[in-house]
Structure 1
Amino acid sequence: MRLNLINVKSEISPLKTVVLHRPGKELENLIPDDLNELLFDDIPFLEDAQSEHDAFTKLLEDVGVEVLFLDQLVAEAIDARNVREQFIKEWLSEASVNNKVNEDQIVSILMNITDTKQMVNKTMEGFRRTEISTSNRERLPAYFIVNPMPNLYFTRDPFASLGNGIVVSRMFSETRRRETIYGDYIFRYHPRFVSDDLPKYYSRNEKASIEGGDILVLSEEVLAIGLSQRTELASVRTLAKELFSKSSFRKIILFEISDKRQFMHLDTVFTMVDVNKFVIHPEIEENLKLYLLEYSAESELKRLDESKLEDILEELLNVSNISLIRAGGNDEIAAMREQWNDGANMLAIAPGEVVVYHRNVVTNQKLVEAGIKLHILKCSELVRGRGGPRCMSMPLWRD
């Protein structure tokens, strides 16, 4: 076990420790009526989703990555400080039950689950109406007392590792805000991470939303952050103030992108894969707006020339011969299809070495032609959640 805390100063440095969440029964509590509210377009088949996720885990472990699991970390944090009752109370306060009798029953159920990890997973999967005994059944919601959290296997979003510190997100959608309680407990109570030396740059209690999928660590001094459907400028300003005073980061490139569903985060349209290579979805280039926020007394936004993205990256990163690999190549239809299946979202495990979905054949071929080594993950179910290998992983340590 690494006793060091957090070390992520690059998108592409060799990956050594990562947090994943193996999909659980929360996916079996997805129903057609709730898909829009819970931010899904389809219902993944749990058995196959778990098999695909197991293959992802094995792929990472086979190349020497230490894989930690979200539910296990939360359980260890709770047990380390004996804060089970506190955790249940905090979780329940955000579960929108709004009925004291039902709340008491839920607390009783959770407290009576002796295994803490099983208890944590129960909070993730939600509570069906049929699990509550009441003579006032007509007053209960149609299906769920507490909604499931099916997005949890996208561990990139609820918190983010930056340099040697952590950001606990304020999620854009109310349905995902409860997810951040797990990261909050890990970094408050887990023995591996409790330290006065661990900077916390952003809190889940902030008012402006920011999500991990919008944050890319391009170097020890430069971040890229997407102004997207889910990340606001106000949150970036708050984060920048903390980063500029407590870390080595000195510049933030802001990508103002569309709020389309398929462009939900910056890492769905722009990903770093090597020291001088980036994958970009061509559809964002036409209307892309770029800004620079620098460490200074004023910290004012500076508009950049979008037509010179390669030049901008070369100057800020002090790297020559930057190249943009366009997802889908020059095929407009392929670009749209593969973007829907996260063709531009990949996890770098070393410079020039990435994990990709097998189904994005055109983009994958372009990566091969650019000299990128691919680790190919076959997926038909995980992809239904609209997230790729980067979305499903939260690095804690890169060498």
Structure 2
Amino acid sequence: MATGPAHPAPAARTGTESPALGCTTEVGRLRTVMLHRPGPELARLSAANSAEYLFGRAPDLVRAREQHDAFAGALRERGVEVLLLGDLLVEAIEHSGAARIQGITAAVSVRRLGPHLGAELGKYLRTLPAADLACILTAGITFGELPDISVSTSSSLVRQMHHGDDFAIDPLPNLIYSRDSSFWIRSRFAISSLARRARAREASLVDLIYAHHPRFLGARRAYESRVAPVEGGDVLLLAPGVVAVGVGERTTPAGAEALAHSLFADDLAHTVLAIPMHRSGVFMHLGTMCTMVDTDAMVVHPAMADDMSAFTVHDDGVGGVAVSPARPFAEAAAAAMGRERIRFLDPDIAVGVTDNGEWNDSSNTLAIAPGVVVSYRHNSDTNRRLGDSGIEVIEIDASELDAGRGGPRCMACPLARDEI
């Protein structure tokens, strides 16, 4: 399977040591980030299956790669170390036989393939070079692309009845939105439980990387749930010890409560703010509704700015949680952060969805330092108003990157930020 042209080599870093891993806020100077460069998994999308894989349309892969390379380049120009998920996956598989088995086990579904075809496909995948295996784990494989393994059509009803273009292993086009499958809080990582079937296996690949890649040797987990969904796009680190969690289409109340309990038990947070979100399909994540652009400032979609509320969750001191009644989010957040107020920057023009249905993600920005954010160029009004409010905006082209309905923050999993 063709994998396309090689990505540009990372820019050389100064110094001899990589930044220490960990994040306490959304806006501390970004030192290291994990991105996923669009690959052949995006070429699997079509007009017929885009909605199934949560995309508004099938993007142009060549242009998506060019735009993503420019995004990564803009980060590197600001001194950010960019790690690419695809590279990390190959290196983890090369480094560890257990990583290879973990990836194959997650990808090969006996429920879909049956025991005999599943076993033979797993055996075949174990023989592949790391790069070829990584490509299949991300881009999937159709029944028509299956190798000539010992389970033939005459001995497998599954193989005989499926069409050649059906997927034996699903592609993962949403890997480009690397924030959702994991996030870091203080010096620990949290593995998300993704709600949609089309995305469920993404977390297993990130888990594989953190568990087996030498770069993450000794890294400890903050949270992992395979029961109640929590997605990284719903988690905002407002300040050291203060975590906001959107509860709506992807993250459930049970997931938010389980996350709070885990963070309190490990002394990673003292307050969790659970924010109800409309289940409209417009705000799939809290990060599509609002993002932090400075230590005391957020850009918030106008549909939520006026009635955004939050339940305040604390440790009850006896192994459970104590939940205070909902109150206005700005008030609850300021109190938890020890501030007089939180600024909502011109939400009346932070347009995320226009009347004609175009998805702009103007309220989804990636902060790379206090008061410095990356935003899509087509959000010109929002970017101008952010600039007028003292926020430096680094604009990137994104006509293809937004096909899956995600902004710059969605595409970036910060691994290391300076403390504030």
Deviations 1:198-251 (A, max 9, x none): 3312225x2000000000001111011100210011112222122112134100
Question: Where do 1:302-317 residues align within 5 Å?
Answer: 302-306=324-328, 309-317=329-337
**Which residue in the other structure is 1:203 paired with?**
224
Partner AA of 2:131 in structure 1: K
Further displaced range: 134-143 or 13-22: 134-143
Deviations 1:303-342 (A, max 9, x none): 2322xx4333332212345310144528x79766798211
The Cα of 1:254 is off from its aligned counterpart by 1.2
User: Structure 1 CA distance, aligned partners of 2:366 and 2:51?
Assistant: 27
Give the SS at the match of 2:34. Answer: strand
Partner AA of 1:348 in structure 2: A
2:399 is the alignment partner of 1:380: yes
The percentage of aligned residue pairs carrying the same residue is: 30
2:135 is the alignment partner of 1:121: yes
2:106 is the alignment partner of 1:83: no
Question: Where do 1:85-234 residues align within 5 Å?
Answer: 85-94=100-109, 97-104=112-119, 106-107=121-122, 109-114=124-129, 116-132=130-146, 133=148, 134-135=152-153, 138-141=160-163, 143-195=166-218, 198-204=219-225, 206-234=226-254
User: Structure 2 CA distance, aligned partners of 1:16 and 1:337?
Assistant: 38
2:51 is the alignment partner of 1:36: yes
Q: TM-score, normalised by structure 2?
A: 0.87
The Cα of 1:45 is off from its aligned counterpart by 0.6
The Cα of 1:88 is off from its aligned counterpart by 4.5
User: Structure 2 CA distance, aligned partners of 1:39 and 1:22?
Assistant: 18
Partner AA of 2:199 in structure 1: R
**Which residue in the other structure is 1:392 paired with?**
411
In 2 relative to 1, CA 130–357 (structure 1 residues): closer, same or farther, beyond 3 Å?
same
2:46 is the alignment partner of 1:24: no
The Cα of 1:79 is off from its aligned counterpart by 2.4
The Cα of 1:90 is off from its aligned counterpart by 1.4
Partner AA of 1:117 in structure 2: A
User: Structure 2 CA distance, aligned partners of 1:241 and 1:360?
Assistant: 38
Give the SS at the match of 1:77. Answer: helix
**Which residue in the other structure is 1:292 paired with?**
312
Partner AA of 1:215 in structure 2: V
**Which residue in the other structure is 1:353 paired with?**
372
Partner AA of 1:305 in structure 2: R
RMSD: 2.3
2:381 is the alignment partner of 1:362: yes
Is the Cα contact below 8 Å between 1:9 and 1:220 reproduced in 2? yes
Task: Structure 1: give runs of 5+ residues left out of the alignment.
Answer: none
**Which residue in the other structure is 2:79 paired with?**
64
In 2 relative to 1, CA 165–324 (structure 1 residues): closer, same or farther, beyond 3 Å?
same
The Cα of 1:4 is off from its aligned counterpart by 6.0
Task: Structure 2: give runs of 5+ residues left out of the alignment.
Answer: 1-15
Is the Cα contact below 8 Å between 2:353 and 2:359 reproduced in 1? no
Is the Cα contact below 8 Å between 1:338 and 1:363 reproduced in 2? no
Partner AA of 2:296 in structure 1: N
